[in-house]
Structure formats: C-alpha cells, structure tokens
Chain A
Amino acid sequence: MKRAPLMVVAAGAMALVLSLLVLPARAVERVRVVVSERGFDPPVVEVTEGELVEITFVYGDSHLPQDNPHVIFIEGLGLESPQISRARPEVAVRVTAEHSGRLLFKCTAYCTGHDRLQAGYLRVRPAAATGAVPAATTRLQLLAAPPDVPGAKAALRAQLSSDDGQPVEGVLVRFEQQATLVKTGWAPIGGARTDGRGVALMEYAPFGDAERVPVRALFEGTVRYQAAQAEVVLELPALVSWWAPPEEVRVPIVGTWLLWAIVAAVWLTFAYALYQVFTLPEPQSAVPGSLHRRRV
C-alpha cells in the first residue's frame, strides 16, 4: 500500500516536467544596447514583429570623469526608458513591436555625445511564416474609475491576457470615449502599453456633455495575439469646462466720473460765457463808454 501515493507523486512530477517541455516556452528576445557618448552599440537592433522583446540599455560612459545620464526614447512606440547613469547602469524595457518596419530610438537627455545618440534603429522583421502558430485568442478586461471631484481625471485600467491566462506584455492598448456633437462617435483618448501583468493604465480628463459615457479599450492584435476590445460605462460628475474666459486687465475704474466731469465742466463754461452775454446789463443813464465818445 505504501507504493501508491509515491507513484502518484512521481507521475505528477513527470507530468509537470513533460508539460514544461512540451508547451511552447514564452520566448522573450533579449538584446543589449550599450549607450555611451560615442553612440549606440549596436546602432541597429533586429527584433521580430509581434514578439515580446526585452531591450537592456547599458551605461557605457564609466570612463568619463562625470556622470553622463541618458534617457532613451523609442519614437515609433512612444516609449521612454528610465534614466541610465552611473548609479543605475542597466535598465530593461519590454516591448512588442506590432508592425514590421524601422523604429527610431534616441537619447532625449542633455548629455555628452547627444548628437551621436540620435539615430538608433529597431529593425522589426516581419513575423516568421504565418500560420505556423495561430494567433492566440485574448481577453481584454476594462475597469473605469470616474473622477472623484468635478475637474479631476478618470482612471482606466485595461488588462489583456491570452485565453490561457497568460498576460500579454508590451503591446499597445488604445482607449476611446464616446462623445456627441452634431453626431455621436468614438473620440480617441490615447494609448498605453501593457506591463508585465498585461495591465495598461490611462488617466484622462473626461469630456462631452453626457452624464454617463461609454468608454472602450482596443487592442489591435499582433501576429501572436488576436485583437480584442472591451467597453464600460463611466459615470461622470458635474461638467467643468476645459475652457475659461481669459484673464482681464484690471485697471481701477476712474474714468467714468472723470470723463463726465470734464465734459460737464466744458459745457458749463459754455453756459457761463453765454450767460455773460445774454444778460448784458442795461447802460446807466449818463455815463457813455469811450466808444460813444468817439462816434462821429
């Protein structure tokens, strides 16, 4: 009787080991790029479309007397790496390039050798023969948190995983909100890339005049994974306008009464002058003016 549990355990262990061997390993391409004031080494990195790739940027300026930090920005993917410096000589970025082509990456920090760090390229090879492995189905789950006070931002959380529960990392998830002006349509909000847990986060200021707006997340799909989308309804608090009347020049108002005072003073002067001539005194009986004396 003692042999039965032992055999179950052994069978379970063998099954586990076999499953690990048989199931396709999650292949993560790894590349290293040394970033120094002399440039990128290598300047061109080859990756495969649709595959998750981990790019490690290595700090190569230890020979310089001063610290020379770099920040690498991958233009085509809109991704910025953390800063690499003497204190943190290696940073890793995990991305999936959705389309084949050439993506530029460059240093955006104000560093020595900046001009030589503007032309690094990710050459994205098209995926290997299609149909070899069919694209896995995916599930996209979207949660939306409305802003807590009017004028604050709403938070969106999209989680992308394949149907077997594995998170999909490094892919772009786009977010859209429905809005109405003359017609109703989906207005793009922006996009975020999924992290190691397949989560893409987005914070944005809601817009539109409706009290409850549908929000959706879209994953366009890669060679490996099928497209997915999710929709949820966001409850919005009171509308706070994005636009405010412009600042006005505040000048203390002294002009009103001053202008009218001046105008009144002038017209009163006119009245005074006219009064002088309209009420000319009658001449006294016996004293003629010199003009009379001179009259012939």
Chain B
Amino acid sequence: MSEPHRLEAQLLGVMARPPRWYLFVVILLAGTVAWGFYAWTVQYRIGLGVTGLHNRVPWGLYIVNFVFLIGISHAGTLISAILRITGAEWRRPITRMAEVITVVALMTGALMIIVDMGRPDRVLYLVRYGFGYLSSPIMWDVLSVSTYLIGSLIYLYIPLIPDLAVLRDRLDPSAPGWQRWLYRTLAMGWQGTLRQRRRLERALTVMALVIIPIAVSVHTVVSFVFSMTLRVGWHSSIFGPYFVVGAIFSGIAGIIAAMAVFRRIYRLEAWITEEHFRKLGWLLLALNLIYLYFTFSEYLTMGYQPDDAEAALLRLLFTGPYGKLFWPMVVGGLVAPALLAVIPSVPALRSLSTVPFLRPAPVALTAAGLLGSVLIVRTQPQAATLLSWLATWETLRWPLLGLGVLLALSLVPILQARRVASLVIASVLVNVGMWLKRYLVVVPSLAVAQTPIEAIAYRPTWVEYSITAGTFAGFALLYLVFSRLFPIISLWEVREAEDSAIREPADVGTRPYVTPAGGRA
C-alpha cells in the first residue's frame, strides 16, 4: 500500500472507531465544561463579586486566560501560513492541527472576555456604539480579533475541502446521515480536477499572505490594551513586539503539545516524525531566546533608574509575594525549555550518555550533595544556627545553582535518548510558564499602588478556577470532537508531497521528508 493510502486508512479508521477511552474522556471534559458553566451562572446571578477581584485589582484570571489563549492562537498562523509561504515541506502533516488550535483558541479567548464583562447582556453595545469610539484599545481588539477569527475559520475550511471530498466519497455507509450531509455540503463538489486545484491554491496563497499581518496585529492590539494606560510595568513601548513574540512562542509550544498528544492517541508516528519535533524544537529555541532578550530588555529598563513605582513593582516581582511565581516562571518557563531543546542536540554532551564511567557520575554527585546537606543539618548539634546560616539566600544560591547544574547533567542521557519526550516536556513548561508570565503582567501592575493606599492581595476564588478549568476543558473537548469529525492530518497535502516526490525524485527541493519506514530521515 502506498503512504497516503495508509494515512487515509489510519485516520478514517480512527474517526469511525474511536479508541476505548474516548467516551470516558469526552464525558470528563464535558463534565468540567458543565461545572464551569454552572460557576458562570453563579457569577451572572450574583455579579463579579464572587470572584477575588476588587477595586484595586479589577482584572485577574479571566484577562490572563484571554491573553494566553489569544497568544496560543498564533500557532496556526506560524505553521500554516508562514511555513507555507516559505515552502517548508515538513509542515504538511501538522498544518491542520495548528489551524484548529487557532480557531478553538480564538473562540475560547473571546468567551473569556464575555465572562469578564460586568454586563455581558450588553456585549452587543460594542457593535452598536463601539464604532464611534475607536480611540479605545478594546475596539481595536474587537476589530482585529473578529477579523482574525473569520480569517482563521476560512483558512481552516479551505484546505479542508479536499479532505471533505475524501470523506464524502469514502465514508462508511453505516455513518449517520447528518454526517454524510455535512461532508457533502461542505465539500463544495470537489473532484480534484486541475482547475479546481488551481483555484484552491490561489485562495490558500491569498489567505496565507493576508492572515500573517492580521495575526501580528491581533496580539499587538491585545498588548495595546495594557500599554496605552499609564500603569507602571504596562506603559512600555516594547509591548507590541513583546506580546507577538510571546504569542508565537507559546503557539509553537502549543502545537508541539498537540502534535505529541495526537501522535500518541491516533498512532500517527509514521507521519509525525521525530524530524518534526526536531524542527519545531529549533523554532521553539529561537523564539525562546528572542523572548528572553525582550524580557531582559524590559526589566533592565525598568530597573536601571527606577522611580518609586517601578521600584515597588520590581520588588513585588523579585522578592515580594509574586516572587514565588516569578522565579519558577523564569527558570521553568524561560530557561529550562531552552536547555531541554538544546541539550539533546549537543554532541559534546553525548559522552555523558555513552561513556560508561561518566554516566552515573552526575547522578551520584547530585544524590551525594542532597544527602550530605540533609545529614549535616540533621546530625550537627548546632543544626539550628547552621540552618539559619544556610537559609540566607546569599549562602544558599551558589550550592543550589551547583546542584541544579548537576541535576541537569544527570538528566542529559535521558533527554538525549528521548528527544521527543524532552521537547514535549519543554513545551508543557513553556505553556505553563507563559500562562504565569501573563498573570505576572496583568496582576502585579494593578496591585502596585498608584496612590498611597493599602494594598489588597488578589486571590482567585472557586468561580474563577472553575470557569478557567471549564474553558480549557472546552478547548480540549472542541479539539477532540473536531478530530473525530475531520481528519487531523491534511490528507491531500501529504499526498501532494508524495506525488511530487515520486514524479521528480531527483529534485532536491522536494526531497521526501518521510521514508516508508517512518523513521528518521
């Protein structure tokens, strides 16, 4: 059997007969969504007072989720549009997943805004009155996000048409009638003729070209909601590019995670190969470094000649109540993913996994260090004073750094052996870290007092947590349902590459990126 045919069979099989756990997961997710919806009805009835928000911190978890989800939505644009325009062939199996992330993320992100409004019954006022008040960054958001949502839906739908035709023609006769009708209507009479394919290509190229600047504008205007105010930490000219880079960064991490999940549950290892992870890993690293550069520039500018308010904000972030989120975010979300993306590819470190003597050394040293410090603290009679001396940050940080390095070295062999796992862990860390970063952008700048008043902490309540959980569960649910109704890998694009590879095998430009064996090229 030829490659695309196997892919078709695989995906159509999965769509017809879902894995055993499928129903269970759907019920779980739907239950979470229902619980989130119930929490929202409580909020609608009583008011936003059921959240932990108050007059000094009027924005919290909902806005953080909104910014995060809009950020994730940049996955589709990057993979599909930019890689399509630059002719990167390896994108083909993952474009559909990326495009779905975009659409679902935009829909759930917009939902978060409606949840955050004090008067959601008046959401249409934005349309009725909003166009007379285009000085407001929220109106820029409305224009930009709605344009991007429509554009993404179109950009998801158009490449779906040939696959819908396949489904229309090859669907199991036992499938329900509405499904057959759905595919037939949406396939628009696609037969795969040359003229039709030219039309499709033209539409796709045009959409890919126009959607890239739209995507850039979307997260830029989301950042403008913050940077157009006078708040310390927000009123920064760097916010537009900063947020866009952050969005692409978290988008790549999102697509890596989605790839890993679907690759495992639908057994798509033959088409989503380690090469895809490797390439996306380099992209992730590149964006990680750019984002670190922006972050460094931002904090240096704030901290070099801080005025009172900037100094107060930096104190809150570095050593204050938000420190326990800030430092894990930096280490876990910005530094560790870069290491996890790089370490598997560093040849010099390979000796740590191959040389028998070197392999256990870091592990042993780490264990010895930890054990030794515990023993010293426990057994010495002056344990209390020793502990207090050890516990100061000045003395503790260097041993901790050393232990961290040893720990990283111990993990190298594992990371080198399991490159995909390493990258998936990196992407999860990035997603969590970027969510924390959005939290640290939104909340501390509001919590820093602008006038000399008592600071009140922001503590989210069960309502906010429930609605957040419901939103992310809804995200996963929509994604899962989509993958059941439509093929999660773009069949015709994979087949197209296969076709051109077979027709012109000598052409280096269309070197097949996937071998029949499905391993590394």
Contacts and interface: CB of A to CB of B under 8 A. Distances in A.
Direct contact of A and B (CB under 8 A): yes
B279 interface: no
Given A289-B192, A292-B192, A296-B5, A277 B161 contact: yes
B417 interface: no
Given A266-B151, A281-B195, A283-B193, A273 B188 contact: no
A277 B193 contact: no
A288 B193 contact: yes
Given A273-B207, A294-B499, A281 B147 contact: no
A288 B162 CA distance: 15
Contact of B154 (A273, A282, A283, A291): A273
B297 interface: no
B193 A276 contact: no
Given A278-B188, A289-B192, A263 B147 contact: yes
A181 interface: no
B88 interface: no
B119 interface: no
B499 A263 contact: no
A276 to B, nearest CB: 4
Contacts of B520: none
Given A274-B154, A289-B191, A280 B196 contact: yes
A184 interface: no
A273 B193 contact: no
A276 B210 contact: no
Contact of B188 (A277, A283, A284, A294): A277
Contact of A276 (B2, B190, B202, B492): B202
A166 interface: no
B383 interface: no
A186 interface: no
B197 interface: yes
B325 to A, nearest CB: 38
Contact of B158 (A266, A269, A273, A283): A273
A139 B207 CA distance: 92
Contacts of A291: 162, 192, 492, 495
B45 interface: no
Given A266-B214, A288-B193, A296-B5, A276 B199 contact: yes
Contact of A280 (B157, B190, B495, B499): B190
Contacts of A263: 143, 147
A284 B192 CA distance: 11
Nearest to B5: A296
A287 interface: yes
A15 B143 CA distance: 102
A146 to B, nearest CB: 45
A171 to B, nearest CB: 47
A287 to B, nearest CB: 7
Contacts of B143: 263
Best-surrounded residue of A263, A276, A292, A296 (most CB of chain B within 10 A): A276
B408 to A, nearest CB: 47
A204 interface: no
Nearest to B197: A289
Given A277-B203, A280-B190, A266 B147 contact: yes
A110 interface: no
Nearest to B196: A280
B195 to A, nearest CB: 5
Interface in B303-338: none
Best-surrounded residue of B157, B195, B197 (most CB of chain A within 10 A): B195
A266 B193 contact: no
B206 A273 contact: yes
A277 B4 CA distance: 24
Best-surrounded residue of A273, A294, A296 (most CB of chain B within 10 A): A273
Contact of A281 (B154, B161, B196): B196
A282 B5 CA distance: 25
A287 B150 CA distance: 35
Interface residues of B, number: 35
Contacts of B189: 280, 282
B14 to A, nearest CB: 20
B193 A281 contact: yes
Contacts of A283: 191, 193, 196
B508 interface: no
A277 B199 contact: yes
B201 to A, nearest CB: 9
Nearest to B496: A291
Contacts of B192: 288-289, 291-292
A284 B200 CA distance: 17
Given A289-B193, A290-B499, A277 B158 contact: yes
B194 interface: yes
Contacts of B499: 290, 294
A183 B121 CA distance: 46
Contacts of B190: 280
B191 A276 contact: no
Contacts of B197: 289
Best-surrounded residue of B150, B193, B199, B207 (most CB of chain A within 10 A): B193
A287 B196 CA distance: 12
Interface in A215-270: 259, 263, 266-267, 269-270
Given A263-B147, A278-B188, A296-B5, A270 B154 contact: yes
Interface in A121-135: none
Given A266-B147, A273-B154, A284 B210 contact: no
Nearest to A271: B154
Best-surrounded residue of A263, A277, A290, A296 (most CB of chain B within 10 A): A277
A143 to B, nearest CB: 51
A296 B9 CA distance: 12
Contacts of B162: 291
Contact of B206 (A269, A278, A282): A269
A291 B192 CA distance: 6
Given A269-B207, A274-B154, A280 B147 contact: no
B127 to A, nearest CB: 14
B151 A270 contact: yes
A281 to B, nearest CB: 5
26 contacts: A266-B147, A266-B151, A269-B207, A269-B210, A270-B150, A270-B207, A273-B158, A273-B204, A273-B206, A276-B200, A276-B202, A277-B157, A277-B199, A277-B203, A278-B188, A280-B189, A280-B190, A280-B196, A281-B195, A282-B189, A283-B191, A283-B193, A284-B195, A288-B192, A289-B197, A291-B495
Interface of B: 2, 4-5, 134, 143, 147, 150-151, 154, 157-158, 161-162, 188-197, 199-200, 202-204, 206-207, 210, 214, 492, 495, 499
A-B residue pairs, 8 tightest by C-beta: A276-B203, A291-B192, A273-B203, A283-B191, A283-B193, A289-B192, A269-B210, A276-B199
Interface of A: 259, 263, 266-267, 269-270, 272-274, 276-278, 280-284, 287-292, 294, 296
Given A276-B203, A289-B196, 19 more contacts: A266-B210, A267-B147, A269-B206, A269-B210, A270-B151, A274-B154, A276-B200, A277-B199, A278-B188, A280-B188, A280-B196, A282-B189, A284-B193, A287-B194, A289-B191, A289-B197, A291-B192, A291-B492, A294-B495
